[in-house]
């Protein structure tokens, strides 16, 4: 038997990832300039952007599947 899965709220996910990115930027600005730290910040911000894109894609798939289910 299929169990309902927890849906992802893409707006909430993007908002939270934006908050994380802002916190990382603030921390990076307050720290001394260190190339290694800058690389870590860039990696974290890149991962946050990738997760935002993934949340948006999942939302589109969920919407499409919902339309297919309603049609049947």
> Model confidence over 16-29: pLDDT tens digits?
878 887 887 787 77
Q: Is residue 22 part of a domain?
A: no
Q: Is residue 6 part of a domain?
A: no
Cα–Cα distance measured from residue 55 to residue 50, given in angstroms and rounded to the nearest whole number: 9
* Cβ atoms 34, 51 nearer than 8 A: no
> Model confidence over 27-69: pLDDT tens digits?
777 766 677 777 887 888 888 888 888 888 888 888 888 888 8
Q: Is residue 39 part of a domain?
A: yes
pLDDT of amino acid 48: 82
> Any idea what DSSP says for residue 31?
S
Q: Is residue 5 part of a domain?
A: no
Print the domain residue range for 41: 27-71
C-alpha of 43 from chain center: 14
The pTM (predicted TM-score) of the whole model is: 0.52
Q: What is the mean pLDDT of residues 5-9?
A: 66
Cα–Cα distance measured from residue 16 to residue 48, given in angstroms and rounded to the nearest whole number: 10
pLDDT of amino acid 1: 46
Q: Is residue 18 part of a domain?
A: no
Q: Is residue 41 part of a domain?
A: yes
């Amino acid at each position: 038997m299929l169990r309902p899965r927890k849906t992802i709220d893409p707006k909430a996910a993007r908002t939270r990832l934006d908050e994380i990115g802002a916190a990382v930027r603030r921390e990076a600005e307050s720290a001394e300039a260190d190339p290694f730290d800058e690389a870590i910040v860039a990696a974290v911000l890149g991962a946050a952007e990738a997760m935002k894109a993934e949340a948006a894609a999942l939302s589109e798939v969920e919407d499409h599947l919902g339309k297919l289910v309603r049609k049947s």
